[in-house]
Structure 1
Amino acid sequence: MTNLFSMFDPATSSWFSLNWTASLLFMLIFPIKKWLVPTRWTLTMSLMSDYIFNQFMPMVKKMKYLLITTLSYMLFIMFNNVMGLFPYIFTSSSHMSFTLPLALTSWLAMMIYGWLNNYTNLLTHLIPQGTPYILMPFMVLIETISNLIRPGTLAVRLTANMIAGHLLMVLLSTALSNAPTSAVFALFTALSALTILETAVSFIQAYVFSVLITLYMAEFAD
């Protein structure tokens, strides 16, 4: 079991863990449009960014520039998730040390901005429209708790989904190396299908994280 979970351990004997540098690998392939001659890769990235921006735009009624943050979140998490599928690359998004600070800093920034600039709107969100007077104290308590646990749920959702799929891939890979000849084809087919599924999950989880951040931002900004 120690070997099974060692893939999620970022610790090394040096003062700086080289595993965390995997989070910056996307900079090697991310196109710098202003500095490079346009290519098919830069065109693909531009079209993808425009598509994501247009998909998120209806979620924010005001302050459309907030979508720059969510677009950056999605691309950053998506690249980290996908690169974690390659051998010998540490999946930083499967560790709470990566996801919790990412979600917590975003949540704190939204809370500080909201209470300094739009506190009346935040107070109205604590009591949904049409709530009976007798239930208002309970609704305030429930909404307050739900706001406080948002960064934890964002971090745990991303971490748990990435860990679960990677653990299954490790288990199937271990079973494939020790399997009898009659079971090799079935295990290889299952591992291939799981790899395709994990690739889709990598995109989906980045999208879900970005959508939730956008909705939370819209609540604090509008």
Structure 2
Amino acid sequence: MLVGREHELKVVEEFVLRAASDGDALVLYGEAGVGKTVLLDAAEEAAAESGVPVMRTVGVEVETDLAYAALYRLLTPFLSQLDGLSGQQRRTLATALGLDEGPPPDRLAVSNAVLSLLGLARGDGPLLVIVDDLPWLDRMSAAVLAFVARRLAGARIGFLGAFRTGESSFFDGGGLAAVEVMPLGQTAAGSLIDRRFPALAPRVR
């Protein structure tokens, strides 16, 4: 049970439903440790309860210099569907992900190929893409996913991401809805401590 997050949970759950019926994107931001990842977990649970499959990955700081590393991690479960793309899109995405040899493909072409692959991955139903630690994505993956996130209207695909306040990324502004996750208020923080540590000495509390 998340204490003091009723508003944020409602926003996330409504987003999951909205994205499943049409397509949408939302980013959460806030200070380190404020609870963004837990809200992403809640979104994944809400999606599972609604029968919405989830693709999820997280930015990895040590891989920020590896082009398309995050995109590869995200798409790995669906690489078997590459053959469902047009020949050019299949070659473009396979080359970007290091599965085929060739010159570096155009980023716009990669972005469109990813959109097409997500469409194949969702089949006849919705799909939710969740990405944590957006600023730690490698630059090429971030650019592609930001492009995708802004073009989901009518696709029944949702994009939900999170980043730390003060860290810039390709997902800042540009029409993407954003919700700030604030620290818990004093009452909620006290309630959380009471639940987790009911025997805590008053002075320590």
The structure with the largest alpha-carbon Rg is 1
Structure number with higher strand proportion: 2
Could you state the TM-score of these two structures normalised by the residue count of structure 2? 0.28
- Higher relative CO (Cα under 8 Å, sequence separation at least 6) belongs to 2
Structure number with higher helix proportion: 1
Could you state the TM-score of these two structures normalised by the residue count of structure 1? 0.26
